[in-house]
Structure 1
């Protein structure tokens, strides 16, 4: 079983059928929204996967662990101040997340930080809040969670979140610092990137950083144009991430395996290279269909092209934004 097979099975990310849906029965290429419409809703698929997936715990350092298997990766800091989580996973995983958290220690859940507003990182907000977690996020996460929000390229309308799922505190500036469990925790807003609500969470003493969906390790990303994301924003965030770390930094990605600086560089270089290739084809007058057919991602497909966001779909998403 290779790395990508592991990510699909162990983590419950069973969206690979989307890649096969990129070619319509008529022989025409689908738009990103049509890809998701052609398969079962990506939202439903993630939730069904989370209901069956195991939760894997990876111990890092400084009292920090990472849980994978429920939507996006979840960071956990434990200590005398209680448990602090970064991202909430999917509610369908609650029993297995509760067990994983209990196995880490009996400290109560006190704090939750949302890296951005997307459901696979915030679906568990309500139950974690009911357990005592104060929820902190960027104001744009609160904005999107509090109202009906459509993600066009997922072909999905999210209803307003219940009150208990909403962030109870929002960042007042683009960079804020917290002190918990012996860690100085720096929250930093990227500006529009994957969405318009993305923040990094850096545990300074441990030299561990969680980057949400500004970094997908070893897989092509989804870009949410409906709520402020863009390929250029993703690249700017990728540049910021490379500058943020040193060779000893442990990186928790939004999706994929625990990583380091070399993985961030490979990710940044892929984004830049694909954008350049797609932009040139579009500037030359190529249609989206012709651009996909030209395979502008081919150089990176062996590493990044083996997950839910297929090379064809990622090309479509980049074409949308150049």
Structure 2
């Protein structure tokens, strides 16, 4: 699978970090042991210079990649509708990519969930005049500082002006530039704030972080997510898709239904193996050492969420 520019930067940075941390482990410096750098810091640093790639989908839909989560853009006479906003430091390159599609203004932004790599661009998109749409859970989480220990990072609240103002508590259908845009809410899965978007006439769906194409996913156990909920939500989404659908994943290249089903089956396969070991009384470290992801690593094990990290996420998320 071809790497995006941001993937290459992050993979190389992660490898360098592992070498540095490994070389310094057990060494006491004057101010204590070396502390690993949060992946969030690496991702933000990479996003400063990462190029933004535009992938045409169907009709007037495109995907922008290179700034955290993928961005979907629907453009036409009414303006632009975006799904997710990327990382704020990428603004100049995102704006250039949007301008290359058309000069139409951004009218709507839909956040698929609260994570910063999908909402950090909210302030500038709002300043451009867009109405921001999200779940009540996303509004709650972006309105206050949120700690994620798995990332060793506390995400600051968004400025008040960047908090979504159109708050969804149930599925809602919009009509924009000839497309029926269905916004569908989900039970807790990747987080407790998730939704996905279907562009009905184009047969395109933006799945946010319910689908990571060709890479292991992060699941936010600390903020309502969990492996079982993610599998359940993916099953529900799969049941609504036809075979010709084009899928915009939260991370990775444009996908199809088979790739999404393979991703779901990987989640279930790892969950079953980790669950069996946990029921045997194995500790988290013992389960990681057993390599329950081994059969999937060649496909999914080459991104920020490496096999050991993903195993820990699954272990911690089992109730």
Question: What TM-score comes out, normalization by structure 2 length?
Answer: 0.92
Q: How big is each residue's C-alpha offset from its partner over 1:79-103, in whole Å with a ceiling of 9 and x where there is no partner?
A: 1110010000011111111110000
Gap runs ≥5 in structure 1 = 27-36
Q: How big is each residue's C-alpha offset from its partner over 1:227-286, in whole Å with a ceiling of 9 and x where there is no partner?
A: 100011111122122212111100000000100000011001000000000001111111
Deviation of 1:62 (Å): 2.4
SS at match of 1:300: helix
Mapping of residues 1-322 of structure 1, within 5 Å: 3-4=2-3, 8-9=7-8, 16-17=14-15, 20=18, 25=25, 38-173=35-170, 175-322=171-318
* 1: CA distance, partners of 2:96 / 2:11: 20
Q: Which runs of 4+ in 1 moved over 2 A?
A: 2-7, 12-26
* 1: CA distance, partners of 2:159 / 2:297: 40
Q: How big is each residue's C-alpha offset from its partner over 1:157-180, in whole Å with a ceiling of 9 and x where there is no partner?
A: 12221012100111131x110010
SS at match of 1:178: strand
Gap runs ≥5 in structure 2 = 27-33
Q: How big is each residue's C-alpha offset from its partner over 1:275-320, in whole Å with a ceiling of 9 and x where there is no partner?
A: 0000011111111111111110001010001111110110111110
CA spacing shift, 1:14–1:121, aligned 2, 3 Å:
farther
SS at match of 1:256: coil
**Residues 6 and 67 of structure 2 are in contact (CA less than 8 Å); yes or no, is this contact kept in structure 1?**
no
How many residue pairs match? The answer is 309
Question: What TM-score comes out, normalization by structure 1 length?
Answer: 0.91
SS at match of 1:127: helix
Match of 1:31 in 2: none
Which structure carries more relative contact order (alpha carbon 8 Å, separation 6+)? 1
**Residues 84 and 110 of structure 2 are in contact (CA less than 8 Å); yes or no, is this contact kept in structure 1?**
yes
Pairwise CA RMSD:
1.9
Deviation of 1:6 (Å): 5.7
SS at match of 2:129: coil
Match of 2:30 in 1: none
